[in-house]
């Protein structure tokens, strides 16, 4: 038996650096060092074929094929961005109130989109028989008894036929689940993603033999959703486990430069509180601003630094930040910084604040705490699972709850957690990889007898 660790999206988009891509890269990097009980092979899917991945880093081999593939990726991103802007436009007056207005908007937009989709389809046709660069990936023949572990963001890819073919050949299917937010909290997601994710989950519920979630909280949600969709009898034939994520930042290139504006901000001795995440409604930046405006109204000199790329459904929020009277004084926003600059911010900040409504894990919390930076977070189950008594929690119903904690911390110097951060321990990516492999093996061996078979270590 081999574990075939799927990493298609990261293979095709090696420069992307959001949470899932970071997880995939680090797990794949640690496969050799993890010394698992089974052979682990990173794989990607292309053109209905399975390939062994030799390198996730982009390598220039065939310049023509490389440029063509790069153009395909850029056009695909442009198409997604185009329809994202369309969805934003639909939410404005008069389109949000009138189905007729939305239809009148759609057809001109559809015709205009041909300027993107026709060249994209042409390139895809020209590239239909292209093989991955042999220095990066080589064909792989799956064998009966292998386990295909869908580690990457597989809902974006249409590889259902290949996975089903492999299953008919005796290959097991294991799905890694990061969260169920498009299902449990669709109001925070783009409508297109909600539909795609729901369709994918229907397929994965029917197809997968087992599920590995990135927290016990999510594992329980998955088990409940599987039972709701399939019924108790069919759901009982699936096994469930979980593992936890590491915290090392892996894209710190030697030639990377520290952001000059970030350095300049930290030269001021006034304390800086850090928020690290994509800017989108689910992350709850509005609550954060409300809390800090309470502090500033009381004369506090604390500063707020927001780090993260601009996401979706956040136009009013971004405008509020950019036009804020404290912008550049006690309020700062950085949308494009590298891992070296992020590491610098973790080292210099006073504390991390994470006011999310819902998360699958909350990787910035672990990244901060592992570096000795205390963290304050919304009081939701997954954050309690990750932070335990070593983190401070605030009430999302009342911004004063966070403002009071910060004021107390500034006044007394004592962080408002029940236990000192110095006693907290967390795993690295090597241990996270070991948990994934061990938890999958445990699930395969024990079948569906219990709701969660993971071998995991909350504190190492």
User: Domain range spanning residue 22?
Assistant: 2-58+133-246+431-446
CATH of the domain at 177: 3.40.50.2000
pTM (2 d.p.)? 0.78
Residue 100: predicted pLDDT: 87
* C-alpha closest to that of 427 among 264, 296, 247: 247
For the chain, the domain total comes to 3
Q: Is residue 69 part of a domain?
A: yes
Residue 89: predicted pLDDT: 81
Alpha-carbon Rg of the chain, whole angstroms?
Answer: 23
Say which residue the tokens 């689910």 belong to. Answer: 282
Q: Is residue 455 part of a domain?
A: no
Same domain, 346 and 393: yes
CB of 230 closer than 8 Å to CB of 206: yes
Q: Is residue 459 part of a domain?
A: no
Same domain, 220 and 150: yes
Q: Is residue 37 part of a domain?
A: yes
* C-alpha closest to that of 352 among 305, 404, 385, 390: 305
Q: Sign of torsion, CA 58 62 63 64? A: negative
d(CA 22, CA 152): 10
Residue 61: predicted pLDDT: 45
Last residue of some domain: 80, 110, 126? 126
CB of 396 closer than 8 Å to CB of 287: yes
Q: Is residue 453 part of a domain?
A: no
**DSSP per-residue string spanning 120-179:** HHHHHHHTTTPPPPTTTEEE----TT-EEEE-S-GGGS--HHHHHHHHHTT-EEEEEE--
Angle at 169 between CA 166 and CA 171, to 5 degrees: 60
Helix (H) or strand (E) holding 306, with range, is: strand 303-307
**Strand order in 137-139's β-sheet?**
137-139, 49-53, 39-46, 2-6, 147-150, 172-177, 210-213, 239-242
Q: Tell me which residues of the chain have a pLDDT lower than 70.
A: 17, 34-36, 58-66, 69-70, 77, 80, 84, 88, 127-134, 156-158, 249-254, 448-460
Residue 284: predicted pLDDT: 95
């Amino acid at each position: 038996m081999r574990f075939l660790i799927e990493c298609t999206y990261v293979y095709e988009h090696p420069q992307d650096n959001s949470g899932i891509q970071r997880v995939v890269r680090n797990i794949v990097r640690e496969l050799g060092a993890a010394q698992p009980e089974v052979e682990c092979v990173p794989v990607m899917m292309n053109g209905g074929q399975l390939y062994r991945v030799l390198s996730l880093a982009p390598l220039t081999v065939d310049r023509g094929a490389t440029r063509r593939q790069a153009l395909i990726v850029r056009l695909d991103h442009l198409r997604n961005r185009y329809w994202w802007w369309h969805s934003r436009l639909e939410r404005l007056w008069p389109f949000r109130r009138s189905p007729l207005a939305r239809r009148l908007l759609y057809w001109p937009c559809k015709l205009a989109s041909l300027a993107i989709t026709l060249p994209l389809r042409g390139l895809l046709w020209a590239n239909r028989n292209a093989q991955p660069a042999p220095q990066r990936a080589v064909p792989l023949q799956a064998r009966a008894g292998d386990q295909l572990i869908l580690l990457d963001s597989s809902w974006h890819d249409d590889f259902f036929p290949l996975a089903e073919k492999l299953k008919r050949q005796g290959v097991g299917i294991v799905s890694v689940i990061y969260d169920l937010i498009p299902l449990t909290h669709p109001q925070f997601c783009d409508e297109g993603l909600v539909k795609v994710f729901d369709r994918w989950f229907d397929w994965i519920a029917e197809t997968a033999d087992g599920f590995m979630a990135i927290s016990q909280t999510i594992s329980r949600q998955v088990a409940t959703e599987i039972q709701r969709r399939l019924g108790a009898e069919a759901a009982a034939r699936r096994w469930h486990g979980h593992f936890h994520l590491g915290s090392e930042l892996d894209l710190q290139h030697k030639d990377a430069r520290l952001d000059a504006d970030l350095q300049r901000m930290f030269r001021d001795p006034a304390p800086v509180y850090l928020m690290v995440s994509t800017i989108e409604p689910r992350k709850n930046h509005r609550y954060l601003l409300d809390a800090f405006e309470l502090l500033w109204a009381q004369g506090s000199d604390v500063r707020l630094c927001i780090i993260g790329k601009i996401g979706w459904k956040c136009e009013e929020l971004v405008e509020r930040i950019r036009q804020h009277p404290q912008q550049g004084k006690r309020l700062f926003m950085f949308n494009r910084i590298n891992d070296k600059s992020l590491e610098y911010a973790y080292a210099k900040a006073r504390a991390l604040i994470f006011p999310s409504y819902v998360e699958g894990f909350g990787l910035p919390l672990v990244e901060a705490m592992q570096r000795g930076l205390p963290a304050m977070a919304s009081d939701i189950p997954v954050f309690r699972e990750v932070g335990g008594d070593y983190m401070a929690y605030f009430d999302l119903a009342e911004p004063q709850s966070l403002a009071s904690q910060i004021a107390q911390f500034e006044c007394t110097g004592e962080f408002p957690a029940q236990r000192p951060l110095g006693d907290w321990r967390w795993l690295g990516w090597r241990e996270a990889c070991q948990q994934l492999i061990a938890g999958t093996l445990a699930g395969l061996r024990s079948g569906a007898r219990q709701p969660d078979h993971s071998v995991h270590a909350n504190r190492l």
